[in-house]
Amino acid sequence: MHMAAAAQYHGGTFWILDNGLCAILTQSTGYRYGTDPTPQHYPNFGVTSIPNYNNFHATGGQGLTVFGGVNSSSHTGTLRTRGGTGVTLFVALYDYEARTEDDLSFHKGEKFQILNSSEGDWWEARSLTTGETGYIPSNYVAPVDSIQAEEWYFGKLGRKDAERQLLSFGNPRGTFLIRESETTKGAYSLSIRDWDDMKGDHVKHYKIRKLDNGGYYITTRAQFETLQQLVQHYSEKADGLCFNLTVIASNHTPQTVGLAKDAWEVARDSLFLEQKLGQGCFAEVWRGTWNGNTKVAIKTLKPGTMSPESFLEEAQIMKKLKHDKLVQLYAVVSEEPIYIVTEYMSKGSLLDFLKDGEGRALKLPNLVDMAAQVAAGMAYIERMNYIHRDLRSANILVGNGLICKIADFGLARLIEDNEYTARQGAKFPIKWTAPEAALYGRFTIKSDVWSFGILLTELVTKGRVPYPGMNNREVLEQVKSFFDNGIDITAICKSFDSLINSRIQPFLAPSLLENFGTV
């Protein structure tokens, strides 16, 4: 059976077909990966600026984009003081083991009084269980009795992420979760794992709407005062849904934002290198631990690769880029040899995963989903007016459940190797680089889009080197000749329109059953 899919990136859509691929940079509706699941809990993030690297001619402080976190004042659990004022109580959503002397260990379900939430991602709190005080990661807690504190509530989880989570091995029919609607502000979506003879295992999505009086419903004949009552009702019987709710989907413990409070420039002796995972022209990558208790990945740069001062300046920007499809930058050792400490991804690089790992057996739908994850991360990088400069499968990391995250964004700009900066020789990734970037050094988000297209070929060929049989010089000459001869690549893409429309629609149109109240 022929299959195709698409995901939004750079204001448009890419399509992958089983006999080829074509990148289309036009506005289009279709297969959306999801909204930004950027940090969404309750700290008041400081407003921070990121230089607009997409404005090639910009200078100085021009083109700044401001971004920050989300404020919330929806507090329901309170502790009354003698003066009668209310103090918001929070509950732990996960277990946490303290990493430093200033941290506070706690268990899921433990309640806290927040003493100071004004310092970003780590809050000062007092445990009502032990009476101890210390810092806790703000994304590990939620207000008591709030929707956010319910195990079945997954917040800003995208539709495709929900499907991947529900279709994980071992989940029975009726496994479910509730998340924010991607299409209707203020509404929720109920996602349920189902099965039938025709589709096999699949996921159905139902929109949960709000009543004017504050209640909730999926169908108007069954209305509920709270989401908790809705879940209880559909756990007892399907009542029009595809299946009754049986098991809450497992929610993986999230990464903390940073290793700990104020743990940015760390001591080299706090890091232990355990196993070398790979190496390149300029660095080695190790699995290791920080402070003897936290698993991390450590990139060790060879001396002279880049200026420590320039690296530290760029790293201050990189650490502010937070998205669940970007590998999180945890900490640095800024003196040579420079160490870059990031979250650890268990399956390694996408390139190795496709060539030698579990990825060899992946089918097209899985590959499309992985491409869509990369597109979601790159779309965020674009919105932040940042540029990757070295987007390829070797710089995409894979975790459990086929989770893909973008790594090494922005580092290529800092490399000081003469052969690399001259954009020639084996060290420079010519085959992934747009012609204007390779020939003239003009890196923009558009050159990242070019690299993304080459990455798609790596996906569908399971890690084959692009342009097989051609060296870097031949590739550059052929690509330059292609455009010098006036060939319009957009016209080539448009020639696929009728083919795409005839083949893609059956896979995008929801079934009649799902048309009712789905999202």
Q: Which of the residues are catalytic?
A: 390
Containing 308, the helix (H) or strand (E) segment is helix 308-318
Of residues 340, 220, 227, the one with CA closest to residue 273: 340
Contacts of 236 (CB under 8 A, 6+ apart): 244
Rounded Cα distance between 514 and 510, Å, is 6
Buried b (16+ CB within 10 A) or exposed e, 339-377: bbbbbbbebbbbbbbbbebebeebebeebbbbbbbbbbb
Query: Helices 445-460 and 364-383 meet at what angle, rounded to 10?
Result: 170
According to DSSP, the residues that pair with 285 across neighbouring strands are 278, 299
CB 384 within 8 A of CB 65: yes
156 is in an annotated binding site: no
DSSP 459-476: HHTTSPPSSTT--HHHHH
Q: What is the dihedral of CA 168, 173, 179, 185, to 10 degrees?
A: 130
Block residue for tokens 């060929």: 461
Using the structure block, give the residue that is written with the tokens 């706090």.
Answer: 270
- Annotated binding residues for ATP, written as ranges, equal 299
- Annotated binding residues, written as ranges, equal 299
